[in-house]
Chain A
Amino acid sequence: MTDSFYRRALSFTNARLWQLVHVDVLLMGSLLLLISGGLFILYSASGQDVAMVERQVFRLIIGLLICVALAQLPPKYMRRASPTLFIFITVLLIGVLLFGVGAKGAQRWLALPGGLRFQPSEIMKIVMPMMIAWYFSDRQLPPSFKQILAVLGLIVLPVLMIAKQPDLGTALLVAVSGIFVLFLAGLGWRYILGAAALAPIAGYALWQFMHDYQRQRVLTFLNPESDPLGSGWNIIQSKTAIGSGGLYGKGFLEGTQAQLDFLPESHTDFIIAVLAEEFGMLGCGVLILAYLLVIARGLYIAANAEDNYARLLAGSLTLTFFVYMFVNIGMVSGILPVVGVPLPLVSYGGTSIITIMATFGILMSIQTHKRAR
């Protein structure tokens, strides 16, 4: 059904031309829809700071260029490069732990000459599913128990290093992107159920591993009222912003929580609360719909990809993108702890825009390099 819908939609465009430049029109279209909506919210969330919106546009353009550039690279090259990239980035992660620079007690960046900074963990979000997909590309699916263990081993090492920086949000996302490949490769349901049963124990282990501020976030999540002026402030204010928006919102630039700075991080992690306050549940519904459009196209590309590597990679990247969105909206609306995950393509700044646009470049490459049937 979706297939025919996209086919019909495609017929309205010059399919061959786009094929030639390796741009998937539907994916690009949904992305642009999402991006422009995001800029609109950012204008309000930044306190009508045009300069900030301009910087965001600049970043998005860079992202789009990288996206289109990556789309030119056939998937087979990516596959071949996967293990090398994985090892390289893992080495860089070790480098971060040893020589990294950072801020606020976290050590996430490698300083490059020329004052540039580089965050290997961000790239790991792409390289991890590439590595696992590569691992399964010449193995028969579904994976055996031994293979599962091997894959888990591959996942755990970099994830632990990222968690140690400490950057729990990214660590979880990297882990999830690897596990998604495992899931798409046909991981037995009994393993999935078993893992679900083991989750509490894992949770306890994770607790032991956490830094104090991370534990504090979890505690605050469980009971934000316990510290209304301290660590609970963010979540109380974001819930207030969302709830006070109601069904239709207070109107563009009319959100008191956002415009009077009660909402912290309103242009970065908590930007969805601005949308929710000013455009209500209706606005949020439209935004989530835009995300679902992108995700639907991503999953379509995955389902119709040429080989296992492409399928697994495309599926995992799309699902990770979804997790981004879900975790962000979940934390801002108070159903998940505050882990510092931005709303993809909408939150201001960060390296994440570049990585995410690179992700979609890979998806476009997978979609547009198929041999004609």
Chain B
Amino acid sequence: MSRRHQNFRNYRQEQRLTQQRVLAAAVFVLLMAVVLMARLFYLQVIEHELYQTKANDNRVMLVTEPPPRGLIYDRNGLVLADNRPIHSLTVIPERVESFPKLKQMLSGIIDISDSEWEDFDDRRKEYRRPYQSLTLKSQLTDEEWAKVSVDLYKLDGVQVEAQLTRYYPYGEAFAHAVGYVGRITTKDLETVDKLAYQGALFIGKTGVEGFYEKTLFGEAGLSKVEVNARGRIMSELERQNPTPGKDLHLYLDARLQQYAYDLLGEYTGSVVAIDPTTGGILALVSKPGYDPNLFVRGISVDDYATLRQSKKLPLFNRALRGGYPPASTIKPFMGLAGLEYGFSSWTERYFAKGYYQINPDGRRYRDWKRTGHGWINLERSIIESVDTYYYQLANKMGITPIHNFLTRFGFGQTTLLDLSGESHGLLPSNEWKKAKYKEPWYPGDSVNVGIGQGFMVATPLQIAAATSALASKGHYFYPRMTRLVGDHPAEFEDGLGDEHDIVLKDQRNWDRMIDAMRKVITDAHGTARRLQGTDYEIAGKTGTGQVFSLQEDQEYDADSLEKRLHDHALFIGFAPARNPKISVFAIFENGGSSSKPADLTKALFDAYLHDDYPARYDYLKGDKND
């Protein structure tokens, strides 16, 4: 059958040979099949649990859902800190073919800074779940959003995501009271539950936002979801809904706050207004402020440098941390101290020269009135703000009674219930001076403290709180920002929020002192007689502080030397005098005459008591339905 037939071919034998080989192959096939089954046995039986765990790890993911942050309202239901949807440009790196190409394409559409790219590249290289999106640029403007959206189909892996961001509608006047949220730092994460903050964009940093972080944040939702390999959520296995953060209702009156801020004009300074019946802070102004919105998504280096380097120290919260001599505004308290310890009385008369000397040949402590006030008593020393009266009183008392008495009004301590960062000022004492200067307390030191100068330093908040306590005749409330947390009255730890009474040996002294402060306005020689002509009574006290520059403020600039030599102008007041609804402390730094803070205070009283603000503040009215 073959062309090249071979004689000795044994077809039978050849067939057997092939058949043997087929048999060998069959054995080989069986062996290899056993190998496969053995491999499957190893994976599916012996290592089953390992792979089962792996499969579960693959498909099950914990997703935290950041709760909507609680809003912050003023007393009239105006939203001071709001949540707003924003659009961010995000990228799923796995879907991007080439980053240089993407960079080039995007550069033709919107501006993305080098630092934004660097930040993005860093986060991209960290370990992360595949197919999770990363933010490349947050807070797109409407224009950027529109531009990107048009070209989105060309940009693989790029998308625009909506998120909630914090927004402060009323800007800089409120920055020091409400505070701000900012980008979460590694340091922040040490103090909070990392898992809860996984999807959060920011965290409360300062002001009410910082103090009430936990309350405002709420509880993050946690869901166990089944995801596919591209990270898309296929189904939810378990879910714990996020609990929205609680809203805060402040005592703050937005119109009063803004009005006070505006009334400070070009001056730096501070205004604190307190409701003496509750201790609630109606206004907490530190001027200048800054735009808190700058901080929400991380402030740029340039913006921050500008704020830091400004000589007016906009980031410095004067209301809580500014150390000022209380000056003559301390006199009513000093007078009460003298009465309490029997060093003065309402009837005792004192001849006020133009100066005071501890020893006949000693240093002359000058009165603001060179000619002196003549024969006066305690009441008149308040009305005319007689310095020499308080020099001699303080010298007679010595520092210890002063220290003890003023302590009861909150001087030298932090008293604010729900804002952090308050400074405790300085209420000097023997011990303090010894520790600090290794020197004894000299009578001259007391003399200076007698008119609220010398070593004594107080913050606007402390002076305002003490004034409020005086206004309510010793019914002392710790000052507080927050009235309601959610639907419940704000509660404070350790009963700190409890009011208590400062009880004088003779309680009638409250009325007498308030009366004297009323006459500061009504008396023909009163230092604040310019405030006459109101249909309600004002009690007040002026103050003019010799210039002590702010503690932090060390820059010295020749151009502004003149102005910086001007005295600080201070005023404390409350109204109506016999039934106070509002007490105010105001300071104009280098304001010269105390007429400025006095006028400011009167304007605030007019507006607040009559609910009669200039029409331009109508936008801050709120709906009052809270």
Q: With a CB–CB cut-off of 8 A, which chain B residues contact A276?
A: 40, 43-44
Range, interface on chain B: 35 or more
Instruction: Decide if B25 touches A184 in the complex (CB within 8 Å).
Output: yes
A-B residue pair count with CB separations less than 8 angstroms: 149
Selecting from A24-32, A253-261, A351-359, the interface stretch reads A253-261
Complex formed: what's the CA distance from A185 to B33 in Å? 24
Given contacts A241-B55, A322-B29, contact A138 B44 (CB under 8 A): no
Which of A125-141 touch B at CB < 8 Å?
A: 137-138, 140-141
Q: How many residues of A contact B (CB 8 A)?
A: 52
Q: Does B234 make an interface contact (CB < 8 A)? A: yes
Given contacts A141-B14, A242-B51, contact A281 B229 (CB under 8 A): no
What 0/1 readout, one digit per residue, does chain B (1-30) give for beta carbons within 8 Å of chain A?
Answer: 011101011000011011101110110011
Q: Does A247 make an interface contact (CB < 8 A)? A: yes
Closest to B25 in A: A319
B54 to chain A, nearest CB (A): 5
A224 to chain B, nearest CB (A): 12
Which applies to chain A's interface (DSSP): helix, strand, loop or mixed? helix
Q: With a CB–CB cut-off of 8 A, which chain B residues contact A347?
A: none
Q: With a CB–CB cut-off of 8 A, which chain B residues contact A322?
A: 29, 32
Instruction: Decide if A319 touches B17 in the complex (CB within 8 Å).
Output: no
Instruction: Decide if A186 touches B43 in the complex (CB within 8 Å).
Output: no
Instruction: Decide if A315 touches B17 in the complex (CB within 8 Å).
Output: no
Complex formed: what's the CA distance from A296 to B228 in Å? 41
Q: Does B227 make an interface contact (CB < 8 A)? A: yes
Q: With a CB–CB cut-off of 8 A, which chain B residues contact A335?
A: 35, 39
Given contacts A239-B43, A260-B229, A281-B40, contact A183 B21 (CB under 8 A): yes
Q: With a CB–CB cut-off of 8 A, which chain B residues contact A302?
A: 18, 22
Closest to B41 in A: A281
Q: Does B524 make an interface contact (CB < 8 A)? A: no
Complex formed: what's the CA distance from A186 to B24 in Å? 11
Q: Does A251 make an interface contact (CB < 8 A)? A: no
Q: With a CB–CB cut-off of 8 A, which chain B residues contact A239?
A: 43, 51
Given contacts A141-B14, A257-B58, contact A333 B26 (CB under 8 A): no
Instruction: Decide if A243 touches B58 in the complex (CB within 8 Å).
Output: no
Given contacts A239-B51, A319-B29, contact A311 B130 (CB under 8 A): no
Q: With a CB–CB cut-off of 8 A, which chain B residues contact A264?
A: 229
Q: Does B403 make an interface contact (CB < 8 A)? A: no
Q: Identify A184's interface contact among B21, B35, B59, B227, CB under 8 A.
A: B21
Instruction: Decide if B55 touches A257 in the complex (CB within 8 Å).
Output: yes
Closest to A189 in B: B24
Q: Does B226 make an interface contact (CB < 8 A)? A: yes
Q: Does B230 make an interface contact (CB < 8 A)? A: yes
What 0/1 readout, one digit per residue, does chain B (270-292) give for beta carbons within 8 Å of chain A?
Answer: 00000000000000000000000
Instruction: Decide if B226 touches A333 in the complex (CB within 8 Å).
Output: no
Known: A260-B226, A335-B39. 15 other contacts (CB 8 A): A180-B25, A184-B25, A186-B21, A237-B229, A242-B43, A245-B44, A256-B55, A257-B55, A260-B227, A261-B229, A276-B40, A302-B18, A308-B14, A311-B15, A333-B43
Chain B positions within 8 Å of A, measured between CB atoms, are: 2-4, 6, 8-9, 14-15, 17-19, 21-23, 25-26, 29-30, 32-33, 35-37, 39-41, 43-45, 47-48, 50-52, 54-56, 58-59, 130, 226-230, 234
